[in-house]
Structure 1
Amino acid sequence: MNALNIAEYSQTLGLQAKMASALMAKASAAVKNRALRRLAGLLRENQSSLQADNARDLERALAAGLAAPMVDRLKLTPQVIETCAQGCEQLAAMPDAIGEIIGLRQQPSGIRVGQMRVPIGVFGMVFESRPNVTIEAASLSIKSGNACILRGGSEAIESNKALARLVQQALIDSGLPAQGVQLVQTTDREVVGQLIAMPQYVDVIIPRGGKGLIERISAGAKVPVIKHLDGNCHTYVDDPSDLDMAVKVADNAKTQKYSPCNASESLLVARGVAAAFLPRIAAVYAAKGVEMRGCPESLAILAAVPGAKLQPATEQDWSEEYLAPIISVKLVEGVDEAIAHINRYSSHHTDAILTRDHMHAQKFLREVDSASVMVNASTRFADGFEYGLGAEIGISTDKFHARGPVGIEGLTSLKYVVLGEGEIRS
């Protein structure tokens, strides 16, 4: 497509989404749930053809020399397809939040004032690699009564097209507009530039991918963006703490999986428990090949641990999102210094305290400025499914309009409703 055609195509996508959003917003819960269950059925029925389209993407990715982890993310295995289908069914089984009125209260004038949950309208989503995100985004859009425009990565274009066709078939079969979920059919990046600059059609943009993608979209967007740039998460081992629990949780937070944004990248340890705790966690990390980049005090303790992979920490390490078997380690005097360090260096994603002191726990919850703050739990729980949201469209480190894992409620807004019986203002 040339520049003129791209602009026209983008405008058409936007206009169609805007028109479809009105129909999606007024659809009943039964109709939306029927579409989700139909989509689950179509995914299972079309597993073979989906894998055939996916094979074309995989072949092209391998020929282009795409890194092995990226190729792995591209795969639509039977398990991935079944998980997508189950996700649709789980959403269909959840209560419908749209139209819910909360906080209704009587005023001295006689009127009753509350807030009603309503769809945002149209969201655009730009994502990389995983084609299953097409189904996650589409199903959340349907359940929340929104329309959406999806732009997946060029490496997954055939898989995304195949999945989007099934989504549109499910919408049509259920009496909803096919344009309720639209996939950008071209790999031309200029469409993204158009999409993020159409406030007349698009109400919010959700980028899901690497830091570079999110920074580019945030810099050029003329519509609100729900984003997170980094996942520099901290686990703080307090004095006092249950050291058996602390070892178990600090291990899980770092090593259960290295690549997610909710894996802990920094370990803070109170000086009062450092001598007892650090050798134990270092032995666990050494066995798993995790490198520890420590402050001078921590390295002095860790030096005696057989097989420990140690490096001096630099200033940059305190801010780093490794997404790898590396963790920074720093000793702090106590909870106040831990909170100050986290608020300075963290990405405000997820931070945890491991403690036996209730007052320390409450202080940490109140004062740590992050989207998720935890007591005696692994940071790896920062996830829409684990939070009981059914699914998530991403994790937001913004403060407006959604924060933390973004599920159905994060794709809605609130409007005030006033119920009266003929009251007039005096």
Structure 2
Amino acid sequence: MSIEEMGRRAKEASHIMAGFLTRDRNRALESIRKGLENAIPEILKANEEDLTEARAKGIGAALLDRLTLNEKRLQGIIADIGKVAGLQDPVGEEFDSRVLPNGLRLRKRRVPLGVLGVIYEARPNVTVDITSLSVKTGNACILRGGKETLRSNTVLVTVIRNALKEAGFPEDAVQYISDPNREYVNQLLKLDRYVDMIIPRGGQKLQELCRRESTVPVIIGGFGIGHIFVDASADPEKSLPLIGNSKIQRPSACNAVDTVLVHQALQDSFIPRLAQYLAERDVELVAHGRAWEILKDLLPGHVREGQPADFDVEWLSLKVNIAVVDDLNAAVAHLRAHGAVHSDAILTNDYENALTFMNAVDSACVYVNASTRFSDGGQFGLGAEVAISTQKLHARGPMGLQELTTYKWICEGSYSLRE
């Protein structure tokens, strides 16, 4: 099937999807959940075949982690479908109601976006997340995963389409581009006749390609250098496990911390403790300037001297930059210079410093005394996420159900005429 034909079918399916009621869409989600649960052995077998091929090709640890589906992860992904079904449906919600002096009543009503084009790399969980959010909001979607996860995604999409059909829904509401030829991505980016939004979930090169080539509106997200600033007033005992959680809990995630900035007042007391804590957990420390002088003889084999370019690296692994800054203003300046658009945190017991940081840092998710790993649709109570947007228009941060809708103006009169 050509991309043009996929787009046409997706658009037709989106019109049908928009006509279903919430209870119907929840019924479709339950059908998908049951179908995937019954297919767990088949899904895991396909995923293991993908992993075997990926290892043979020497794919890096971060990508392998994103590709991996064990039974616990898969059960969690399937359970999230039920969580999405249990969320309030934004479609049909009316807001900003008003009556004009001429008697005309205006209000906004939420409606589905239409057709989503989602391009992603080694993340088979995205296939399920996008499907559940798309079905819940009455949208259709065209998915394009990476070639390294082709077997996993093929099984997932086959099960999903069969489940939709069994529930009386159009199976073309979820389609998958299985050919790894990149030309199909280029064609999808030009399919503005049928596709209403492109959502790339991958590295910076994919984001830039979509921004540059697409004639369809693009949501940019999923990339950014994560920072934690340890203020002079921070509690050292509580800061250590929080930084460890932000780095170690899942280092391949886009919300894992990449750079820790320490206030100069704490440099001699806190940096050695932090370095020891992280080194004991197999984190490689990339120390800069004053931090390097403190650590270079302390932990041989665990610390290397950082270069300026390291501040612009999204590590996606057990590595982290450590640097000293003079004060809060210097920390904010560093964040602005080095890709702070995703998830960034301050550790502080000073309310004014917390407020200054919240106001000054221009990231999609700003944290005070909390791990950056919370930037996630499930953690935010959204059920799942279609992406984490780092741009400023339409949506920012984890995109859930509401972000997959737009609105129309409803105008009611009494055979009203404009004077």
Do these two structures clear the TM 0.5 threshold for a shared fold by scoring above it?
yes
Query: CA distance change for structure 1 residues 173 and 233 in 2, over 3 Å: closer, same or farther?
Result: same
- 1:389-408 aligned at under 5 Å gives the runs 389-408=382-401
Alignment partner, residue 297 of structure 1:
290
- 1:314-333 aligned at under 5 Å gives the runs 314-333=307-326
Alignment partner, residue 5 of structure 1:
none
User: Which of 309-318 and 368-377 deviates more?
Assistant: 309-318
Cα distance per residue 1:19-50 (max 9 Å; x no partner): 11111112100110000011111112222333
- Counterpart residue type for residue 285 of structure 1: L
User: Which of 172-181 and 363-372 deviates more?
Assistant: 172-181
User: Which of 304-313 and 402-411 deviates more?
Assistant: 304-313
Report how far residue 353 of structure 1 moved.
0.7
Query: CA distance change for structure 1 residues 330 and 213 in 2, over 3 Å: closer, same or farther?
Result: same
User: Which of 327-336 and 362-371 deviates more?
Assistant: 327-336
- 1:113-124 aligned at under 5 Å gives the runs 113-124=106-117
Distance across 2 between alignment mates of 1:250 and 1:75:
25
Distance across 2 between alignment mates of 1:311 and 1:68:
20
Q: The residue matched to 1:160 in structure 2 has which SS?
A: helix
Report how far residue 294 of structure 1 moved.
3.0
Alignment partner, residue 3 of structure 1:
none
- Counterpart residue type for residue 143 of structure 2: L
Distance across 1 between alignment mates of 2:119 and 2:27:
27
Q: 1:237 aligns with which of 211, 216, 230?
A: 230
- 1:134-213 aligned at under 5 Å gives the runs 134-213=127-206
Report how far residue 164 of structure 1 moved.
1.3
**2:13, 2:140 within 8 Å by CA — same for their partners in 1?**
yes
Alignment partner, residue 214 of structure 2:
221
Where does structure 1 differ by over 6 angstroms across 4 or more consecutive aligned residues?
Answer: none
Report how far residue 302 of structure 1 moved.
3.4
2:50 paired with 1:46:
no
Aligned length: 419
Cα distance per residue 1:65-94 (max 9 Å; x no partner): 545654554444333432232111111111
2:309 paired with 1:313:
no
**1:231, 1:263 within 8 Å by CA — same for their partners in 2?**
no
Q: The residue matched to 1:264 in structure 2 has which SS?
A: coil
Q: 2:22 aligns with which of 25, 29, 32?
A: 29
Report how far residue 261 of structure 1 moved.
1.0
User: Which of 131-140 and 44-53 deviates more?
Assistant: 44-53
Q: The residue matched to 2:258 in structure 1 has which SS?
A: strand
Report how far residue 52 of structure 1 moved.
4.3
Alignment partner, residue 4 of structure 1:
none
- Counterpart residue type for residue 39 of structure 1: I
Report how far residue 415 of structure 1 moved.
2.7
- Counterpart residue type for residue 400 of structure 1: L
Long gaps (5+) in structure 1: 1-7
User: Which of 144-153 and 61-70 deviates more?
Assistant: 61-70
User: Which of 64-73 and 99-108 deviates more?
Assistant: 64-73
Q: The residue matched to 2:383 in structure 1 has which SS?
A: coil
User: Which of 245-254 and 105-114 deviates more?
Assistant: 105-114
Query: CA distance change for structure 1 residues 155 and 269 in 2, over 3 Å: closer, same or farther?
Result: closer
Report how far residue 233 of structure 1 moved.
0.7
**2:67, 2:123 within 8 Å by CA — same for their partners in 1?**
yes
User: Which of 386-395 and 104-113 deviates more?
Assistant: 104-113
Report how far residue 360 of structure 1 moved.
1.2
User: Which of 8-17 and 316-325 deviates more?
Assistant: 316-325
Distance across 1 between alignment mates of 2:317 and 2:64:
18
Query: CA distance change for structure 1 residues 161 and 416 in 2, over 3 Å: closer, same or farther?
Result: same
Alignment partner, residue 371 of structure 1:
364
- 1:340-355 aligned at under 5 Å gives the runs 340-355=333-348
Alignment partner, residue 335 of structure 1:
328
- 1:249-264 aligned at under 5 Å gives the runs 249-264=242-257
Report how far residue 303 of structure 1 moved.
4.7
Alignment partner, residue 72 of structure 2:
79
Length-normalised TM-score, structure 2: 0.92
Distance across 1 between alignment mates of 2:269 and 2:56:
51
**2:202, 2:222 within 8 Å by CA — same for their partners in 1?**
no
Query: CA distance change for structure 1 residues 241 and 53 in 2, over 3 Å: closer, same or farther?
Result: closer
Q: The residue matched to 2:261 in structure 1 has which SS?
A: strand
**1:40, 1:84 within 8 Å by CA — same for their partners in 2?**
no
Q: 2:273 aligns with which of 254, 271, 280?
A: 280
**1:283, 1:308 within 8 Å by CA — same for their partners in 2?**
no
